[in-house]
Chains A and B, each alone.
Chain A
Amino acid sequence: MTVMEQRGAYRPTPPPAWQPRTDPAPLLPDALPYRVLGTDAAADADPALLRRLYAELVRGRRYNTQATALTKQGRLAVYPSSTGQEACEVAAALVLEERDWLFPSYRDTLAAVARGLDPVQALTLLRGDWHTGYDPHEHRVAPLCTPLATQLPHAVGLAHAARLKGDDVVALALVGDGGTSEGDFHEALNFAAVWQAPVVFLVQNNGFAISVPLAKQTAAPSLAHKAVGYGMPGRLVDGNDAAAVHQVLAEAVAHARAGGGPTLVEAVTYRIDAHTNADDATRYRGDAEVETWRAHDPITLLEHELTERGLLDEDGIRAARDAAETMAADLRERMNQDPVLDPMDLFAHVYAEPTPQLREQEALLRAELAAEQEGAHR
Chain B
Amino acid sequence: MTTVALKPATMAQALTRALRDAMTADPTVHVMGEDVGTLGGVFRVTDGLAKEFGEDRVTDTPLAEAGILGTAVGMAMYGLRPVVEMQFDAFAYPAFEQLISHVARMRNRTRGAMPLPITIRVPYGGGIGGVEHHSDSSEAYYMATPGLHVVTPATVADAYGLLRAAIASDDPVVFLEPKRLYWSKDTWNPEEPQSVEPIGRAVVRRAGRSATLITYGPSVPVCLEAAEAATSEGWDLEVVDLRSLVPFDDETVAASVRRTGRALVVHESGSYGGPGGEIAARVTERCFHHLEAPVLRVAGFDIPYPPPMLERHHLPGVDRILDAVGRLQWEAEN
Contact = CB atoms under 8 A, between A and B. Distances in A.
Interface of A: 130-132, 135-137, 142-143, 147, 150, 152-162, 164-165, 171, 183-184, 187-188, 190-191, 194, 345, 348-352, 355-357
B74 A352 contact: no
Contact of B73 (A135, A157, A164, A183): A157
B108 A350 contact: yes
A188 to B, nearest CB: 7
Contacts of B69: 153
Contacts of A158: 74-75, 77-78
A28 to B, nearest CB: 23
B125 to A, nearest CB: 24
Contacts of A188: 67, 70-71
A157 B74 contact: yes
A335 B101 CA distance: 28
Contact of A190 (B56, B62, B80, B149): B62
Nearest to A164: B56
B109 A132 contact: yes
Given A150-B97, A153-B71, A348 B112 contact: yes
B182 interface: no
A203 B54 CA distance: 35
A188 B232 CA distance: 59
A317 B222 CA distance: 79
A156 B94 contact: no
A142 B101 CA distance: 14
A156 B109 CA distance: 21
Residue in B67, B74, B110, B146 with the greatest tally of chain A CB atoms within 10 Å: B74
Contact of A160 (B62, B74, B171): B74
B67 A159 contact: no
B277 interface: no
Given A187-B66, A351-B149, A355-B247, 16 more contacts: A135-B113, A157-B73, A157-B74, A157-B76, A158-B78, A161-B74, A161-B77, A164-B80, A183-B94, A184-B70, A188-B67, A349-B108, A351-B107, A352-B107, A356-B249, A357-B248
Given A184-B70, A357-B247, A352 B113 contact: no
Contacts of A150: 70, 97-98, 101-102
B61 interface: yes
A153 B114 CA distance: 16
B67 A190 contact: yes
A183 B106 CA distance: 21
B202 to A, nearest CB: 12
B67 A136 contact: no
B79 A136 contact: no
A162 to B, nearest CB: 6
A161 B75 CA distance: 5
Contact of B115 (A132, A147, A352, A355): A352
B71 A157 contact: yes
The list of the 6 closest CB pairs from A to B, nearest first, reads A157-B74, A153-B70, A187-B67, A157-B71, A355-B247, A158-B74
A154 B66 contact: no
A352 B106 CA distance: 12
16 contacts: A131-B110, A132-B109, A142-B77, A147-B101, A152-B70, A153-B66, A153-B71, A154-B102, A158-B77, A159-B74, A161-B75, A183-B94, A184-B66, A190-B62, A190-B67, A194-B62
Contacts of A350: 107-108, 146-147
Contact of A355 (B30, B102, B200): B200
Given A157-B75, A160-B71, A184-B97, A143 B109 contact: yes
Contacts of B247: 355-357
Interface residues on B, range: 35 or more
Interface of B: 30, 56, 61-62, 64, 66-67, 69-80, 82, 94, 97-98, 101-102, 105-115, 146-147, 149, 169-171, 200, 246-251
Contact of B77 (A136, A184, A190): A136
Contacts of B102: 147, 150, 154
Contacts of A137: 113-114
A154 B110 contact: no
Contacts of B246: 355
A131 B246 CA distance: 24
B97 A153 contact: no
B70 A157 contact: yes
Given A147-B97, A190-B67, A154 B77 contact: yes
Contacts of B251: 356
Nearest to A158: B74
A125 to B, nearest CB: 9
Contacts of B77: 136, 142, 154, 157-158, 161
Nearest to B115: A352
